[in-house]
Structure 1
């Protein structure tokens, strides 16, 4: 099945991240036939983490990307290093049992550790800073955070500190919150510079990246799968699909498993050191505890980077600034009327259970997707797990592959409407403080 172009001319959107990236690549297109051990489809976090871990093990790896490195969610996200999966540890415990909660509780902080290792080992300049804060808008949110702290401690994670209103205000100078929780093992960074640095590290290990080469077909019925583009093809022993929300219809078997959801971001003009520090004295990243949440942080050049909103189905709103400015000014009335330099949208892949998925199509094609808004850390973790499986240790891969998944109710035609209706219920609960 052929896929329509999803990336236009393949250039980055007009985002703050694209404007402030610290390296310029010269894309090389795939032309002719290439043979390799492993072919990874997608040069975002999942693809680069998989490729780096395999290259470090000595495999010959080729990455094929339809646009440019980090063009999708990996180069557009909030830049927040948040531990956990899309589904909470409490949900996983309730749904899959104590054993599953213990297993996942033992690895949810691993993605952040992988990021820090890559940044340190390969000298990636991405403004990585420590600490993230969960902000409670209602007393009900505080109870959820208290339960989360207790549950994570049960599974050996003791990096969370509860904050009352006064303690939170010292870290985030906003009157919008009644308290919160600090995770000292979280953090934030420049997301596009991170993935660009990972690409450079991978190439330094001998890997090859072909950009501006959209995959139009994958033939995986033979002993060696073939990844085909308009101008070339890669023959590999193993193929790994890391396209996530931007894989489209290229692999029909995966279409019903996830749904693209867009989220929006805006970036203010530079605020200056004094104003920036008055808003977020801790210089940590923040996300609130609502179902449709706000998330924000300060950039290295002291802009407010503010995100939120969700559009099921992956369509972009007509005006991201109009959508997000009211929330920005509610959190920080001090920024009322502030000029916005950049506004953009991007898609993440949502699974119905909010649990990421890994699996195989046939014997030699692996996939990972569905981080459901928690892809910064999750994608790095799953890249390592995929590399382990391909290298012969499928213990952790098998756990995720065996987790049940469900298609979205309403099918492809009505899944966005169904999910929107469901989100209204959770938004109502947030509004009334349940």
Structure 2
């Protein structure tokens, strides 16, 4: 994780198992050491279950410890979309669950005495007049339906708020914010370890099968040695990193690589209120200044291997928003693989008796991934109500499954980039005074 800046603030020790000492049986085997897996490990251990967690890499070395750190309320799909497809009662319940997800992160930060560098406030910046109109209408809907208080920012007000004139206007929401995601990962890891969970990084799950009411999983250690473990429950929490393990998950969750660059601490606060910002493009730009004053900027997506020079890849997106940073050196740049679904709805399910999966948070995982761990833990202990709600979300497989994801991803990213350019070439884009990168 040395290519990220998050390690500087994530100082809690890594409570990893010290040797290849895996049990033959466990109550719960968790595959994946990110926010979902560690949250599940924490809550199941507190419920008295014997928990074993494995991850083929270091804890938090996937999207959980490498993302932009933005904590959003709600879901990746908005409430209008959810209401149209699921009806008002279920959509309202999902809104409440989204609020609970944010609240859980704050509860854990306080309980575990780990601030994680949290700063409140989120801003959605509209890149066209049309997008600004849509953002304002949606803010009105949230106010009317859920009592959400937001602030509409004119072009001038937004420019003063984020230090950039590249957007038409925006909406500020005080209910979310941003933090160091790796600090949250390590706080959960430490707490899970203290609660009794055994954490084994650098151990890969190879295969699973049903055996006499339990699930047998073949694991491979860092030296290639294999070990078989039987579990009453198996939780697949590897998101976009489960290659070859479970087709039902892989066919629904596409691994997508996002790229982030960070500057050195800047001499002035470009975002004086300390909010995190994301824009309304299909290929989203998202950025924030952390507590040290560094600009952490995410831009661009790819499928497969990340670019050789991530800093050079992200810099044009950064300069599109902040051209005055042209001479500012990039202190660190990194990539991370998140999981998206066709509908951008999370895939949180019981696949079979004792077999659970959670992932596909589609860029909104800081809150939802942490919450999913509690949802699955509750279901295993006996309260399946919240898991049942998430099971109503439509998450169809990608056409052709895993084999066709690479060409589909390439086509989709090309189309989204073209759509953004078309948006800016229309009247709304001209009113914004911007140009596509």
TM-score under structure 1 length normalisation? 0.90
Greater shift, 210-219 or 182-191, is seen at 210-219
Which residue of structure 2 aligns with residue 8 of structure 1?
none
Instruction: Tell me the matched-pair count.
Output: 418
For 2:2 and 2:83, how far apart are their aligned partners in 1? Answer: 39
Greater shift, 153-162 or 205-214, is seen at 153-162
Which residue of structure 2 aligns with residue 15 of structure 1?
4
Q: CA deviation at 1:245?
A: 0.5
Contact 2:15 2:190 in 1 (8 A): no
For 2:31 and 2:191, how far apart are their aligned partners in 1? Answer: 18
Q: Does 1:432 align with 2:425?
A: yes
Q: CA deviation at 1:153?
A: 2.6
Which residue of structure 2 aligns with residue 421 of structure 1?
411
Q: CA deviation at 1:169?
A: 2.7
Which residue of structure 1 aligns with residue 250 of structure 2?
255
Q: Does 1:268 align with 2:268?
A: no
Which residue of structure 2 aligns with residue 173 of structure 1?
163
TM-score under structure 2 length normalisation? 0.90
Contact 2:13 2:190 in 1 (8 A): no
For 2:203 and 2:214, how far apart are their aligned partners in 1? Answer: 20
The correspondence of residues 388-427 of structure 1 with structure 2, limited to 5 A, is 388-423=378-413, 424-425=415-416, 426-427=419-420
For 2:422 and 2:210, how far apart are their aligned partners in 1? Answer: 46
Q: Does 1:190 align with 2:180?
A: yes
Which residue of structure 2 aligns with residue 206 of structure 1?
196
Greater shift, 227-236 or 141-150, is seen at 227-236
CA, structure 1 residues 128+234, in 2 after alignment: closer, same or farther (shift >3 Å)?
A: farther
1:223-272 CA-to-partner distances (Å, cap 9, x unmatched) read 12123212434322211110000111122332211110000001112224
For 2:22 and 2:395, how far apart are their aligned partners in 1? Answer: 38
Greater shift, 244-253 or 180-189, is seen at 244-253
Which residue of structure 2 aligns with residue 246 of structure 1?
241
Q: CA deviation at 1:134?
A: 0.9
Unpaired runs of 5+ in structure 2? 221-225, 429-437
Q: Does 1:374 align with 2:373?
A: no
For 2:219 and 2:20, how far apart are their aligned partners in 1? Answer: 7
Q: CA deviation at 1:43?
A: 1.1
For 2:116 and 2:75, how far apart are their aligned partners in 1? Answer: 23
The correspondence of residues 29-44 of structure 1 with structure 2, limited to 5 A, is 29-44=19-34
Q: CA deviation at 1:129?
A: 1.4
Contact 2:346 2:395 in 1 (8 A): no
Q: CA deviation at 1:429?
A: 4.5
Which residue of structure 1 aligns with residue 66 of structure 2?
76
For 2:106 and 2:194, how far apart are their aligned partners in 1? Answer: 18
The correspondence of residues 122-201 of structure 1 with structure 2, limited to 5 A, is 122-201=112-191
SS of equivalent residue, structure 2 residue 93: helix
Q: Does 1:295 align with 2:286?
A: yes
CA, structure 1 residues 65+415, in 2 after alignment: closer, same or farther (shift >3 Å)?
A: closer
SS of equivalent residue, structure 1 residue 49: helix
CA, structure 1 residues 70+92, in 2 after alignment: closer, same or farther (shift >3 Å)?
A: same
For 1:391 and 1:246, how far apart are their aligned partners in 2? Answer: 26
For 1:353 and 1:319, how far apart are their aligned partners in 2? Answer: 31
For 2:231 and 2:402, how far apart are their aligned partners in 1? Answer: 31
Q: Does 1:333 align with 2:323?
A: yes
